[in-house]
Chains A and B, each alone.
Chain A
Amino acid sequence: MIKTLKASLAVLALAGLVTLNAAPAKAAASKEPLPARNWSFDGMFGTFDRGSVQRGLQVYLEVCASCHSLKLVAYRNLSGIGLKEDQIKTIAAEFEVTDGPNAEGEMFERPAKPSDRFVSPFPNDNAARASNNGALPPDLSLMVKARKGGADYLHALLTGYKEEPPAGVKLGEGMLYNVHFPGNQIAMSPPLSDDAVEYADGTKASVEQLATDISTFLAWTAEPELEERKSLGIKVLLFLIVLTGMLYALKRQVWADQH
């Protein structure tokens, strides 16, 4: 979806767009259609499957969090997927944050509190690149909203790795072949494998299951308001339909002498 260019190239591309000579970066390689999946949060009455979204949190913490940040989400927000206060405190306390300055003017380390945002794996983008072969693992907070296809795309990406690229496709240094990644070359190695985590609720951790759970969790981090939005929306629409029906009757009555 995104093609990294130098700033000057970008300006050239823009000029090209206007003068019609541009060839906007297109996925040169194969482009498979996204399989549409059924998600618990789809539809007008959709909610996040509590089991799946909590398992997804576990996948994030044990797998994704080693490279990907989740900067927009606070530990306290986890109450939105059914975690109890003490569970949230336990999770937060596993991470260290820098606070301060204290009365002596010194910065100090302390365990994270529920009010803190998810602690990022790297102190800054350069450190993240340095540890990842030059590639920057993007923040995952809004990932589901920031990609066409949303959770479908995420699931397809996580299960779309091929060990060998098709004949004729040459991969760059350290790159891997993924059917659904734009351009098909991805720097992230396949993050999921069977039994990559041991689910607390005993669910079998197949790649398929892991991908479903993490996609559900990231759908929640992108739209934590979804359940409240949809349930309020049903009430608003019902109210408006009844109101509009009554307004129509009133309109007919007012206009009766004109027809």
Chain B
Amino acid sequence: MSNKFYDNPVIKWVEYRLPIFSFIDESVGSGYPTPKNLNYWWNFGSLAGIVLAIMVATGIVLAMNYTPHVDYAFESVERIMRDVNYGWLIRYIHMNGGSMFFILVFIHMFRGLYYGSFKEPRELLWIIGVMIFLAMMATAFMGYVLPWGQMSFWGATVITNLFSAIPIIGDYIVTWLWGGFSVDNPTLNRFFSLHYLFPFVIFGLVFVHLWALHVHKSNNPAGVEIKSSEDTIPFHPYYTMKDLFGLGVFMIFFMFFVFFAPNFFGEPDNYIKADALVTPAHIVPEWYFLPFYAILRAVPDIWFISAKLGGVIAMFGATLVLMLLPWLDRSKVRSARFRPIYRQLFWVFFVDCLILGWVGANSPDAVFHGIPFLWIGQAGTVYYFAHILIIIPLVSILEKPIMPPASISAAVTADGAATKPAE
């Protein structure tokens, strides 16, 4: 409360009754101490939050002009593109914003993996993050159905059909999800309703995510805890400024796609109106689902489990298993900087995820230099789970890490001496 700002009588009056100014200050202001050594990989969390806000803002405007009915949905989107003032801009921001959101969150998650941000005492922070990711995937999937193009319809048909793999009650669940006996108007209506609801669920989860974050503060590239005030700098102005610069760079990237390649991430088939009697030659999901799509298709019949059920379990398991990471990785050293073997395997895992994405974009019976994509997908899937369930626990026990620095301030000075406290 040493801030001069609080001398203002109006601020004082409000603050006495509702301490909102100190709350803001202690959350994202000068009263929130942050590790002084965060690198640019720590920009992506706040960027994802900003994109969430952009998605909600553009989405609300789109909803004012969109008609969730199978006879009008496609045309109403085209009306937005052609007749609504700057409708094309709002829709292209929303459409590409979905892809941007996933790019940012993927980087955010890989950063957490690399620097061990999921480890004690940040297990819940990580788990809530995985829940946000699941909610994002559900939201994105339902949003993609709304324009009612061919990929909307057939994507919805394929994904909802997956639930029929559940033994005994599967078919009933699918009928219940559809609200009928195929993807049709009731399905579109409820997807619209839920697509509007879920972002607010994500907001709630983000709030809890930040709450947990602010208890133990950000992890940092050195992976050592904050030990004294010498290790920290106030969030404002240092990180507000750094985040703003990062936002500028990101917006250049984002707006390039919006204005000059707005359909880069999309499928041409989605500009054909949904037709239940015409199946597209290749049903492919949006790019951010491709690694999961590859895992889904990689699983063969195993004993009494059908390939379909096995694939569904593997696909959902691929995300859910991430929640176990804090207990699978037993290394006390967080940052991969000080874990030479884990660091190399991290990049193997990263490449494996890219390969799975590439396999997901190709038909499983296609062939790459004599190797069927199915095999590549199966190898990639085996490595994905082996990396998390076997390699990470083993490496964390067997690896001899390099001694991390004694403190954050020791990490940022070349000679290992403590730095002078910030002015």
Contact = CB atoms under 8 A, between A and B. Distances in A.
A125 B238 CA distance: 63
Interface string A117-147: 0000000000000000000001001100111
Nearest to B252: A240
Given A17-B158, A148-B268, A237 B238 contact: no
B365 to A, nearest CB: 6
Contacts of A237: 252, 255-256, 259
Interface string B61-94: 0000000000000010010011000001100100
A111 interface: no
Interface string A1-29: 11111110110011101111011111000
Nearest to B158: A14
A121 B160 CA distance: 38
A222 to B, nearest CB: 8
Interface string B234-256: 00011001101101110110011
A236 interface: yes
B53 interface: no
Contacts of B258: 233
B308 A22 contact: no
B255 A254 contact: no
B88 A229 contact: yes
B162 A232 contact: no
A20 B244 contact: no
Interface string B251-270: 11001101110110000110
Tell me if B's interface is mostly helix, strand, loop or mixed. helix
A243 interface: yes
Nearest to B276: A7
B157 A225 contact: no
Contact of A18 (B82, B269, B281, B307): B307
A240 to B, nearest CB: 5
A63 to B, nearest CB: 22
Contacts of B306: 19
Contacts of B161: 14-15, 18
Interface in B210-238: 233, 237-238
Interface string B83-127: 000001100100000000000000000000000000000000000
Contact of A7 (B245, B277, B374, B423): B277
Interface string A240-259: 11011001101100110110
Interface of A: 1-7, 9-10, 13-15, 17-20, 22-26, 44, 72, 77, 138, 141-142, 145-148, 150, 182, 222, 224-225, 229-230, 232-234, 236-237, 240-241, 243-244, 247-248, 250-251, 254-255, 257-258
The 9 tightest CB contacts between A and B, nearest first, are A233-B259, A244-B248, A146-B271, A225-B88, A247-B245, A10-B279, A145-B271, A251-B245, A254-B241
